[in-house]
C-alpha cells in the first residue's frame, strides 16, 4: 500500500527512510506530546516548505527550468485566502473561493509567462520570471487597498479552525481548532506530496527528465517540449499556490515579506540544492534540516558568539545575523561539490553498496533516463 | 609590404535606425501627455539620467553574456561594492566633498568614481575566478552559483560597513538646477547624462577602433572561431568581465548619489531594470542596451508622473511590446 | 617518402553519450592535398573539429609538428600552425570583410602582395571590402572564409566543404585558389562531398563511414575505379558533374 501511495518512488536509502519516517511520526505525534505551539509552528513550516520546494523541484530538478516567479504563486494562494476571508467574511466558502480564484489566476499567469518565454532558453526564462515577480511584489505593495500593502492583512479563519473550538479530547490532549488546522495542513501536504510523486513517476514525468537531459533529442523523438514545459509550469504553480493558501490558513496573516520576498526565493533555492535536486525527497529533508537549523542554529551561533566574543575575526563571522553568509557559502559549495544534495548522496551510497553486494538490497530503480525508456 | 587594408576605397554599409526612432517617438508621446513643456523637460532629463545609469550597469552584463554565454545573476554585487567603496572614499575626502567649489567637488567625484571602478574591478576578478570560471556552459549552475556569490559578497559588505542605512549628500556645487528657459534641469542629472554619454562613446570607440574591440565583436558572434584563429579568448573574457564589473561599480556610485541613501540592498533594486533592459536590447548588444535603457527609463518616468503605481509595470509592458515586435531584442546579434 | 605533417592514431571522439569516431587512423603527407570523403554523417566534420580541439578526443593521438594535439586548447592548436575553414564558414557577419581578414593577419597587418593575390582570386571581396560580411551571399562568404585562412601561410589547412552551397560558376574560383596552393606545395586536409572538385585537386583520398576509416589510397587510384567509388561513397563519378 505504501508503494502505491509513494508511486514506488521510495526514499532509496536506509538513513533517509529513517529520517523521513521520524519526521512524519514527529509531525503526527507533536500535538499529543505536549511540545507546545512553537514546535507545531516549526513542523507546519516544514510541511508547507516541503510542498513549496518540491513544486519548485518539479521544474528545476526534473525539467531543468529555473523560475523566479515561484514565490509569486505562493503569494497568490495566500492572498487569495486572505482577501477572500476579508471581503466575504471568515468561513470555508470564502476561503475556498479565494483559493480557487488564486489558482485560476496562477495557472493563467504560468501559461502566459510560459508561452512568452519558454520557447527561448533557460536564462531568458529565468530573467523574465525575475522581472515579473519583482513587478508583482511592487504592485502588491502599491495596491494596499486590496492587499494591505507592506503591512499585509490580518484575517479570521472559520471558527472550526480557531482555538475556541474544542470538539473533543484525544490521548489526553484537548483537541482544538488549532490542532485541527494543524492536521488539515499536514494531511493536505501529504496528499500534495504524493501527487507530485505520482507526476514524476508517470510517463509524463519521464518525458520531462528526457527534456532536461537533451531537449533536442526529446523534440526529435516527437515530444512537444513547449507543451510539456507549459504543463509542468502550470502544475508547479498550482502546488505553490495551494501551499500558499495553507500557509495563510495557519498564520492567519499575510504580507509581502512572508510570502513574496526574495528571501523566500533564496530559501527555496538553498533547500532544493542542499536537499537534492530532482528527488522531491530532497525538498522534504532539506526543508526539515533548514527550518530546524534556522531555529536552533541561531542559538548555537549566539552561544558560540558569547563564548568567543573576544576573538576579533571570529566575533564578526559568528553572529546570528551572519547566518546568511554561511548559508551562502554552503550553497555555493553544494552546487560545486555536492550537486546531488543530501538525498542524492545518500541514494548514490546505497546504490554503490548494493552493486558491491554488501547487503541484500536490490538496486533501486534509477530515475535517470536511458534511451530504452524514451 | 604590410598594410592594414585601409587604403582600399570605402564601400560603406547600412545601419538599422528603426529602434533608435523609438526614443523620439516616446519623447513625443510624453510631450503630448504631460501638461507643460517644463514638466516634460524635467521628466525627460530624469529619464535620460536614469537610463544612463542603467546602461552603465547593464553594459558589462550584456557583453559578458554575448561573449561567453555566461549570465551573472550576481551582477548586483558589483553595484553594491562600488557604491560602498565610493562612500568610504568620499568620507575620506571631506574637504573636497563639502567644499563649495565646483572643481573640488568634481575631483572628489572623480576619486569616488575611481574607487568604485577599482573596487568593482577587484571584486569582479575574484568573482570570475571563484564563481564563474567553474560553471561555463551550464546555465542552471551559473544562475545558482552567481546568486550564491552575490549573497556572500553582500554579507561581507554588511560585515564591513554594518546594516544601517546611510545618507549620502551631493557635494554642494552639484546640487541645484540649471535653468533652461522656463524649465529647470537638475545639475546632477546633467552630469550623469554627460558621464554616461562619455562612457558610451568610449565603449563605442574601443569596440570599433581597437584590436581588442574587434576581438570582442567577433567573439560575441562566434567565440569558437576566434579561438580557432589563435586568440586566447579566456583572457579576453576575464578582461571584459572585470571591465563590466568596474562599470557596474561606477553605476552604483552615481545611483547612490542620485538616490541620496545607501544600503546593502542597493544592488537588488537596479537589477530588475537591468535584466529587462538587456533582454529588450538584445542580449550581447551594447547599442541595444543603450537605446533600451534610455527608452525604458524615459517611459517609466512619464508613467510615474501620469499613473504612479504603474511605473514598474510600464517597463515590463515596454519589454513585452518590444519582444513581440522583435523577438530577439532591438539589436539582436544573430 | 613525404613526411607526415599530421598523423592520427586510434582517435575516438564522444559527443555527450554518442560515440562518433571509432579509432581513426590516417596520415596527412606534407605538401599534398588529402581529401576526406564519405557520406553525410560519416564523421568527417567531427574529425576536423577533433583535430582542431573543438571537440576533445577521448582516446588516441593526434601528432602535429612533434606535439600531441589531443590535450591542447583550440587557440594553442591554431597558433601551432593550423588554419581552419569550418563547414559553417565561421564568418563574423557584423564585421566588415576587411575586419574579418584583419583578424587572421599576423599582428593585424596584411602582406600587401598576398592580399592582392587573394582579392584577384576572389573579386567580390574587393567589391565589398568595407561592407559588413552579413550582406555577402553564401558563395561570397565561402570565399571570404577561405581567403581568411589563406592570408597567412600555415603549416596545415583544414578545410570543410568549401564548395558547399556555391553556384557552379564560383566553384571555378575555388579550384583556381586550391590549384595555386598545390603549386606552392601547401599541406591541406580537405573534406569534400563534391567528388569532381575532390578528384581534380586531391592527391590522397581517405574514405570514412560510420566514424571509421574504410579506405585510404592515392586519389588517382580511386578516381579511376568507378566500382570502388560506388561501393565507398554511394555514388559514381560523372564526368559532367557540377
Chain A interface with B: residues with Cβ < 8 Å: 60, 64, 66, 116, 121-124, 126-128, 130-132, 134-135, 138-139, 142-143, 262, 266, 269, 273, 316-317, 321-322, 324-325, 327-329, 331-332, 335-336, 339
Q: Where are the domains of chain B?
A: 38-268
pLDDT at A253: 86
| Chain B residues closer than 8 Å to C52 by CB | 228
| Chain B residues closer than 8 Å to A327 by CB | 151
pLDDT at B3: 54
Instruction: Name the pairing type of β-strands C156-160 and C188-191.
Output: parallel
| Chain B residues closer than 8 Å to A127 by CB | 71, 275, 278-279
Instruction: Name the pairing type of β-strands A173-175 and C4-15.
Output: unpaired
**Residue B331 Cα, gap to closest chain C Cα (Å):** 11
Point out the residue among A124, A135, A339 whose CB comes nearest to the CB of B313: A135
CB-based contact C129:C96 (threshold 8 Å): yes
Tell me which architecture the domain covering A2-289 has in CATH: Orthogonal Bundle (1.10)
What is the Cα–Cα distance from B19 to B293, expressed in whole angstroms? 12
What is the Cα–Cα distance from A238 to A217, expressed in whole angstroms? 29
Nine-digit cell string for A105: 489566476
Instruction: Name the pairing type of β-strands B261-262 and B166-167.
Output: antiparallel
Best of A127, A331, A336 to mutate (most B CBs within 10 Å, chain B): A127
List, as own/partner pairs, every contact residues B122-126 make where C-beta atoms lie below 8 angstroms and the sequence separation is at least 24, other chains included. B123/B77, B123/B78, B123/B81, B123/B153, B123/B245, B123/B249, B124/B78, B124/B241, B124/B242, B124/B244, B124/B245, B124/B246, B125/B238, B125/B242, B125/B245
> A50-87 burial string, b = 16+ CB within 10 Å, else e?
bbbbbbbbbbbbbbbbbbbbbbbbbbbbbbbbbbbbbe
Nearest CA in chain B to C152: B229
Chain B contact for C132 (CB, 8 A cutoff): yes
The residue whose grid cell reads 537533451 is A214
What is the Cα–Cα distance from B308 to A256, expressed in whole angstroms? 20
**Residue A25 Cα, gap to closest chain B Cα (Å):** 33
A336:B159 CB<8 A: no
Q: What average pLDDT does range B132-150 have in this prediction?
A: 88
A with B: how many residue pairs have Cβ under 8 Å apart? 91
| Chain B residues closer than 8 Å to A122 by CB | 139-140, 143
Predicted confidence band at B11 (pLDDT cuts at 50, 70, 90)?
A: very low
Point out the residue among C75, C99, C112 whose CB comes nearest to the CB of B233: C75
**Residue B137 Cα, gap to closest chain C Cα (Å):** 13
For A70, the 3-state DSSP assignment is helix
pLDDT at A22: 87
| Chain C residues closer than 8 Å to B333 by CB | 94
| Chain C residues closer than 8 Å to B227 by CB | 73-75, 78
**Taking the C-alpha atoms of B83, B85, B91 and B92 in order, what is their torsion angle to the nearest 10 degrees?**
-150
Point out the residue among B148, B268, B278 whose CB comes nearest to the CB of A332: B148
pLDDT surpassing 90 at residue B81: yes
A143:B134 CB<8 A: no
Q: What are the Cα distances from residue A171, in Å, to A23, A31, B221? A: 20, 10, 71
| Chain B residues closer than 8 Å to C78 by CB | 227-230
pLDDT in tens, A117-168: 766 677 788 888 988 898 888 888 888 777 777 788 888 877 777 777 777 7
Q: What average pLDDT does range B135-156 have in this prediction?
A: 89
Predicted confidence band at B242 (pLDDT cuts at 50, 70, 90)?
A: very high
Show which subunits contact C, needing at least 3 CB pairs below 8 angstroms.
B
Best of B147, B270, B283, B324 to mutate (most A CBs within 10 Å, chain A): B147
| Chain C residues closer than 8 Å to B2 by CB | 109-112
**3-state SS string over C46-64?**
HHHHHHCCCCCEEEEEEEE
pLDDT in tens, B212-236: 999 999 998 898 999 999 999 889 9
Q: Please state the separation of Cα C211 from the chain's center in Å.
A: 18
DSSP code at position B129: I
What is the model's pTM? 0.85
For A139, the 3-state DSSP assignment is helix
pLDDT in tens, B176-192: 888 877 778 888 999 99
CB-based contact A336:B145 (threshold 8 Å): yes
Best of B5, B10, B224, B227 to mutate (most C CBs within 10 Å, chain C): B5
pLDDT in tens, C31-65: 999 999 888 888 899 999 999 999 989 999 999 98
User: How would you write the pLDDT of chain C (242 residues) with one tens digit per residue?
Assistant: 568 889 999 999 998 778 999 999 999 999 999 999 888 888 899 999 999 999 989 999 999 988 899 989 999 999 999 999 998 889 998 899 999 999 998 887 888 888 998 998 889 999 999 999 988 988 899 999 999 999 998 999 999 998 887 888 778 888 888 888 888 888 999 998 878 888 888 899 999 888 899 888 888 888 888 788 777 776 544 433 43
Q: Mark out the alpha helices in B93-210 (DSSP H runs).
A: 94-98, 102-127, 139-161, 187-209
Nearest CA in chain B to A272: B144
B313:A127 CB<8 A: no
Point out the residue among A127, A138, A139 whose CB comes nearest to the CB of B275: A127
At a CB cut-off of 8 Å and minimum separation 6, what does C191 contact?
A: C35, C36, C44, C45, C47, C48, C87, C159, C160, C161
pLDDT at B82: 94
Chain B 148-207, residues with CB within 8 Å of chain A CB atoms:
148-149, 151-152, 155-156, 158-159, 163
List the Cα angle A201/A203/A207 in 5-degree steps.
100
What is the Cα–Cα distance from C127 to C145, expressed in whole angstroms? 16
Point out the residue among A262, A317, A335 whose CB comes nearest to the CB of B148: A335
Chain B 206-265, residues with CB within 8 Å of chain A CB atoms:
none
Nearest CA in chain C to B225: C90
What is the Cα–Cα distance from A200 to A7, expressed in whole angstroms? 9
DSSP line for B98-116? H-S-HHHHHHHHHHHHHHH
Inter-axis angle of helices A281-308 and A262-275, nearest 10: 110
Chain C contact for B137 (CB, 8 A cutoff): no
Tell me the mean pLDDT per 10 residues along chain A, length 374.
72 80 86 80 93 94 88 93 86 88 94 77 83 87 80 80 76 79 91 91 87 80 84 94 93 84 88 88 90 78 69 64 81 86 82 65 41 38
Closest CA to B147 of A329, C219, A62, C81: A329
H or E, element range at C136? none
Chain B contact for C128 (CB, 8 A cutoff): yes
List the Cα angle B223/B228/B234 in 5-degree steps.
50
Count of C-beta atoms within a 10 Å radius of residue C123? 12
ipTM entry: 0.89
Amino acid at each position: 500500500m505504501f508503494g502505491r501511495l509513494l508511486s514506488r518512488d521510495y526514499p532509496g536509502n536506509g538513513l533517509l527512510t529513517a529520517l523521513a519516517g521520524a519526521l512524519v511520526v514527529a509531525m503526527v505525534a507533536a500535538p499529543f506530546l505536549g511540545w507546545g505551539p512553537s514546535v507545531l509552528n516549526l513542523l507546519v513550516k516544514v510541511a508547507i516548505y516541503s510542498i513549496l520546494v518540491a513544486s519548485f523541484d518539479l521544474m528545476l530538478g526534473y525539467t531543468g527550468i529555473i523560475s523566479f516567479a515561484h514565490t509569486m504563486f505562493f503569494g497568490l494562494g495566500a492572498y487569495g485566502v486572505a482577501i477572500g476571508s476579508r471581503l466575504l467574511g471568515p468561513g470555508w466558502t470564502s476561503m475556498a473561493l479565494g483559493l480557487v480564484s488564486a489558482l485560476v489566476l496562477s495557472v493563467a499567469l504560468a501559461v502566459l509567462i510560459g508561452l512568452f518565454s519558454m520557447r527561448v532558453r533557460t536564462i531568458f526564462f529565468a530573467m523574465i520570471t525575475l522581472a515579473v515577480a519583482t513587478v508583482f511584489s511592487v504592485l502588491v505593495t502599491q495596491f494596499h487597498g486590496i492587499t494591505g500593502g507592506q503591512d499585509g492583512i490580518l484575517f479570521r479563519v472559520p471558527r472550526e479552525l480557531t482555538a475556541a473550538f474544542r470538539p473533543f479530547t484525544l490521548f489526553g490532549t484537548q483537541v482544538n481548532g488549532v490542532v485541527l488546522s494543524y492536521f488539515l495542513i499536514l494531511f493536505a501536504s501529504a496528499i500534495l506530496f504524493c501527487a507530485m510523486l505520482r507526476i514524476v513517476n508517470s510517463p509524463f514525468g519521464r518525458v520531462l527528465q528526457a527534456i532536461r537531459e537533451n531537449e533536442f533529442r526529446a523534440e526529435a523523438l516527437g515530444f512537444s517540449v513547449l507543451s510539456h514545459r507549459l504543463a509542468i509550469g502550470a502544475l508547479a504553480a498550482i502546488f505553490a499556490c495551494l501551499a500558499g493558501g495553507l500557509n495563510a490558513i495557519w498564520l492567519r496573516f499575510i504580507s509581502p515579506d512572508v510570502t513574496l520576498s526574495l528571501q523566500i526565493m533564496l530559501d527555496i533555492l538553498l533547500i532544493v540544492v542542499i536537499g537534492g535536486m530532482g528527488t522531491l525527497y530532497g525538498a522534504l529533508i532539506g526543508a526539515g534540516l533548514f527550518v530546524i537549523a534556522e531555529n536552533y542554529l541561531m542559538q548555537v551561533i549566539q552561544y558560540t558568539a558569547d563564548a568567543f566574543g573576544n576573538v576579533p575575526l571570529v566575533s564578526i563571522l559568528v553572529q546570528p545575523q551572519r547566518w546568511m553568509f554561511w548559508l551562502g557559502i554552503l550553497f555555493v559549495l553544494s552546487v560545486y561539490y555536492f550537486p546531488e544534495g543530501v538525498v542524492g548522496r545518500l541514494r548514490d551510497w546505497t546504490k554503490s553498496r548494493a552493486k558491491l553486494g554488501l547487503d541484500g538490497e536490490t538496486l533501486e530503480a534509477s530515475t535517470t533516463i536511458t534511451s530504452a525508456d524514451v | 609590404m604590410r598594410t592594414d587594408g585601409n587604403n582600399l576605397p570605402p564601400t560603406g554599409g547600412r545601419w538599422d535606425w528603426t529602434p533608435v526612432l523609438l526614443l523620439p517617438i516616446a519623447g513625443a508621446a510624453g510631450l503630448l501627455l504631460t501638461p507643460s513643456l517644463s514638466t516634460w523637460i524635467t521628466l525627460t532629463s530624469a529619464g535620460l539620467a536614469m537610463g544612463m545609469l542603467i546602461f552603465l550597469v547593464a553594459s558589462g552584463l550584456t557583453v559578458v553574456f554575448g561573449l561567453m554565454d555566461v549570465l551573472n545573476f550576481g551582477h548586483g554585487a558589483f553595484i553594491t561594492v562600488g557604491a560602498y567603496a565610493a562612500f568610504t572614499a568620499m568620507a575620506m575626502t571631506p574637504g573636497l566633498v563639502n567644499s563649495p567649489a565646483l572643481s573640488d567637488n568634481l575631483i572628489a567625484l572623480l576619486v569616488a568614481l575611481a574607487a568604485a571602478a577599482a573596487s568593482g574591478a577587484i571584486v569582479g576578478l575574484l568573482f570570475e575566478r571563484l564563481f564563474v570560471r567553474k560553471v561555463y556552459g551550464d546555465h542552471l549552475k551559473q544562475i545558482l552559483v552567481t546568486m550564491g556569490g552575490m549573497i556572500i559578497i553582500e554579507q561581507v559588505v554588511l560585515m564591513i560597513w554594518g546594516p544601517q542605512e546611510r545618507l549620502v549628500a551631493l557635494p554642494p556645487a552639484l546640487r541645484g538646477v540649471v535653468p533652461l528657459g522656463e524649465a529647470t534641469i537638475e545639475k546632477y542629472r546633467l552630469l550623469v547624462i554627460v558621464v554616461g554619454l562619455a562612457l558610451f562613446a568610449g565603449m563605442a570607440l574601443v569596440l570599433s577602433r581597437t584590436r581588442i574591440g574587434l576581438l570582442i565583436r567577433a567573439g560575441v558572434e562566434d567565440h569558437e572561431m576566434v579561438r580557432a584563429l589563435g586568440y586566447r579568448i579566456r583572457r579576453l573574457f576575464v578582461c571584459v568581465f572585470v571591465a563590466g564589473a568596474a562599470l557596474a561599480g561606477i553605476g552604483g556610485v552615481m545611483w547612490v548619489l542620485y538616490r541620496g541613501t545607501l544600503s546593502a540592498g542597493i544592488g537588488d533594486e537596479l537589477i530588475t531594470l537591468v535584466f529587462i533592459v538587456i533582454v529588450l536590447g538584445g542580449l550581447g548588444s551594447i547599442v541595444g542596451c543603450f537605446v533600451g535603457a534610455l527608452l525604458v527609463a524615459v517611459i517609466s518616468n512619464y508613467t510615474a508622473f501620469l499613473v504612479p503605481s504603474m511605473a514598474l509595470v510600464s517597463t515590463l509592458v515596454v519589454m513585452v511590446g518590444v519582444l513581440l515586435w522583435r523577438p530577439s531584442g532591438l539589436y539582436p546579434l544573430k | 617518402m613525404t613526411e607526415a605533417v599530421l598523423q592520427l592514431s586510434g582517435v575516438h571522439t564522444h559527443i555527450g553519450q554518442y560515440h562518433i569516431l571509432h579509432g581513426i587512423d590516417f596520415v596527412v603527407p606534407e605538401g599534398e592535398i588529402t581529401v576526406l570523403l564519405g557520406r553525410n554523417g560519416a564523421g568527417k566534420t567531427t574529425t576536423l573539429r577533433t583535430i582542431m580541439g573543438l571537440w576533445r578526443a577521448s582516446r588516441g593521438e593526434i601528432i602535429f609538428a612533434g606535439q600531441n594535439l589531443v590535450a591542447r586548447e583550440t587557440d594553442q592548436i591554431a597558433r601551432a600552425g593550423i588554419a581552419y575553414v569550418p563547414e559553417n564558414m565561421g564568418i563574423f557577419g557584423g564585421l566588415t570583410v576587411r575586419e574579418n581578414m584583419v583578424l587572421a593577419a599576423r599582428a593585424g597587418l596584411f602582406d600587401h602582395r598576398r592580399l592582392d593575390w587573394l582579392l584577384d582570386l576572389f573579386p567580390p571581396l574587393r567589391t565589398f571590402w568595407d561592407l559588413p560580411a552579413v550582406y555577402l551571399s553564401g558563395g561570397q562568404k565561402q570565399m571570404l572564409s577561405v581567403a581568411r585562412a589563406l592570408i597567412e601561410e600555415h603549416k596545415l589547412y583544414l578545410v570543410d566543404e568549401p564548395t558547399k552551397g556555391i553556384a557552379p560558376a564560383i566553384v571555378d574560383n575555388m579550384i583556381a585558389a586550391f590549384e595555386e596552393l598545390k603549386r606552392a606545395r601547401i599541406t591541406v586536409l580537405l573534406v569534400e562531398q563534391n567528388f569532381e572538385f575532390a578528384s581534380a585537386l586531391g592527391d590522397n583520398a581517405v574514405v570514412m563511414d560510420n566514424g571509421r576509416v574504410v579506405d585510404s589510397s592515392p586519389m588517382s587510384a580511386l578516381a579511376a575505379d568507378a566500382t570502388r567509388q560506388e561501393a565507398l561513397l554511394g555514388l559514381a563519378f560523372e564526368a559532367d558533374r557540377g
